Amino acid sequence: MKIRVIPYAAAVHPQEIAGKTTIIIDVLRATSVIITALKNGADKIIPALTVEEALETSKKLTPGTFLLCGERDTIKIEGFDLGNSPLEFRQSKVAGKTLIMTTSNGTQALNASRVAAKVYLGAFLNAKAVAEKVKQEKEVVLVCSGTAGRFSLDDGLCAAMIMEELSKSIPLRPDDLGLALAKIWQSENGNLQKLLKDSFHLNYLLQKGFAGDVDYCLQKNSTSVVPVFSGSEIILS
Amino acid sequence: MKIRVIPYAAAVHPQEIAGKTTIIIDVLRATSVIITALKNGADKIIPALTVEEALETSKKLTPGTFLLCGERDTIKIEGFDLGNSPLEFRQSKVAGKTLIMTTSNGTQALNASRVAAKVYLGAFLNAKAVAEKVKQEKEVVLVCSGTAGRFSLDDGLCAAMIMEELSKSIPLRPDDLGLALAKIWQSENGNLQKLLKDSFHLNYLLQKGFAGDVDYCLQKNSTSVVPVFSGSEIILS
């Protein structure tokens, strides 16, 4: 299988993913949140690029059937029901609900992926399960969402973990970024605590008081839930 | 020192490098060629984005004082004096000459860097010397040129080597891509043969018959020549 890794959302060019199978990765925290929400019974997630778009979408839905979710600079958007902390997305809150969600990086990557043939969402939580979904493909593009237009190592290492899961059943031909990330992963046997010690976004979340979220998002293979994005909404695949 | 690493030329956003000290890296082969040309006595290099721009520039110069140089898909441009093989840029050819040069990736990165405060050119050939030039700065942006809009591991490892040279005299605060590349570099103690074994661009050049160029460009610290780009031309710093 040919593997291409995109370093951050702003670096996605439509022609590179048009017609291809992609996995969007935003470990801290959008894809971890979406996986958790669907696991806990949310009906679907509608991503929105902006707060205005989220509010606009909410006007078309019946009150009580949806929740407005999202963050800017890690903090819950004012007036919204939920932020971007996976620990908030409990069954009692989200079961049966439509979640309208806007986040700083993850929803940008989703928006850029509309031209892809299939768009799955991956994180450490479901790395093995998402690898299983795509293992018949000839080519997969792993889109690391990154942080504010920059490469984020947590997303890159999740790409490496998905590659490792894939490589257990099929030979891979990764591009140079894929090769580099696999090398880093192997250098510490996938020990995330060691590998992410000095990384920017993780430390930023710790500073902001989100240590619980970080611990949660770095759990590996805790679920077999794999979200899929249809171009307008995200549901269980 | 704060270190930022840009994964490929097309990913350079002007606001990220405006007013900053940058090092442009295109190991295979543009910056290795330019370093070699200046070492061998070339007067200056004028980068051109397109073949047409190169020909236009040449019309303003006195015949006999300049050489047209460059490649597309690794091969010398038809009618040009030299291609993009550093072994061609011998003293007998280039001494005292102005070189008008257009390459697939390196000149794109140079063009994007016009808004930077200072632009040096780096490769394995001058990694130690280019690190020496910037070691007083508070922040340095390392621009990996990449190949055809993708990250290229040879450029990334050169960024890692420049960081290693810098870290001998000052503490570094690299961004996540910088952290990742430093980790890969350390995993094999900078052994380029091992680290680049499966990388795309290196193997592409080998297939095209450029093994001599590859061996030449992977030499470390063979010269103290550091080219600097003024926004219109490249000269010895």
How far apart CA A210 and CA A203 sit, in angstroms, is 9
CA of A150 vs chain B CAs: smallest distance (Å) = 8
| A51 at B interface, C-beta within 8 A | no
How far apart CA A82 and CA A80 sit, in angstroms, is 6
Cα A64 to chain centroid, rounded: 26
| Short-list B85, B182, B96, CA closest to B142 | B182
Q: Which residues of B touch A149 (CB under 8 A)?
A: 13, 16
CB contact under 8 A, A176 and B153: yes
Q: Which residues of B touch A177 (CB under 8 A)?
A: 7, 150-151, 153
Report ipTM for this prediction.
0.92
| B172 at A interface, C-beta within 8 A | no
Q: CATH classification of B2-225, choosing from 3.30.540.10, 3.40.1790.10, 1.10.645.10, 3.90.1560.10?
A: 3.90.1560.10
pTM of the full structure:
0.94
Do residues A118 and A28 lie in contact, with contact meaning Cβ atoms separated by under 8 Å? no
| B183 at A interface, C-beta within 8 A | yes
How far apart CA A227 and CA A25 sit, in angstroms, is 11
Across-strand partners of B75? Answer: B72
The number of residues in chain B equals 237
pLDDT, tens only, A114-130? 899 999 999 999 999 99
Q: How many CB atoms lie within 10 A of CB B168?
A: 9
CA of A70 vs chain B CAs: smallest distance (Å) = 24
Q: How many CB atoms lie within 10 A of CB A197?
A: 12
- For residue A180, what are its two tokens? 């580099």
The amino acid at B101? M
Architecture of the domain defined by A2-43+111-226: Alpha-Beta Complex (3.90)
Q: How is chain A split into domains, by residue range? A: 2-43+111-226
| B153 at A interface, C-beta within 8 A | yes
Do residues A105 and A146 lie in contact, with contact meaning Cβ atoms separated by under 8 Å? yes
CB contact under 8 A, B183 and A187: yes
Proportion of chain B in helix, strand, coil states, percent, rounded to 5: 40, 20, 35
DSSP assignment letter at A175: -
pLDDT, tens only, A177-236? 999 999 999 999 999 999 999 999 999 999 999 999 999 999 999 999 999 999 899 999
Do residues A163 and A26 lie in contact, with contact meaning Cβ atoms separated by under 8 Å? no
| B15 at A interface, C-beta within 8 A | no
pLDDT per residue as tens, chain B (237 positions): 999 999 998 888 888 899 999 999 999 999 999 999 999 999 999 999 999 999 999 999 999 999 999 999 889 999 999 999 999 999 999 999 999 999 877 777 888 888 999 999 999 999 999 999 999 999 999 999 998 889 999 999 999 999 999 999 999 999 999 999 999 999 999 999 999 999 999 999 999 999 999 999 999 999 999 999 998 999 999
| pLDDT recorded at residue B11 | 84
- Residue A192: which H helix or E strand, with range? helix A192-195
Do residues B184 and A182 lie in contact, with contact meaning Cβ atoms separated by under 8 Å? no
Residues 110-149 of A with CB under 8 A from B: 149
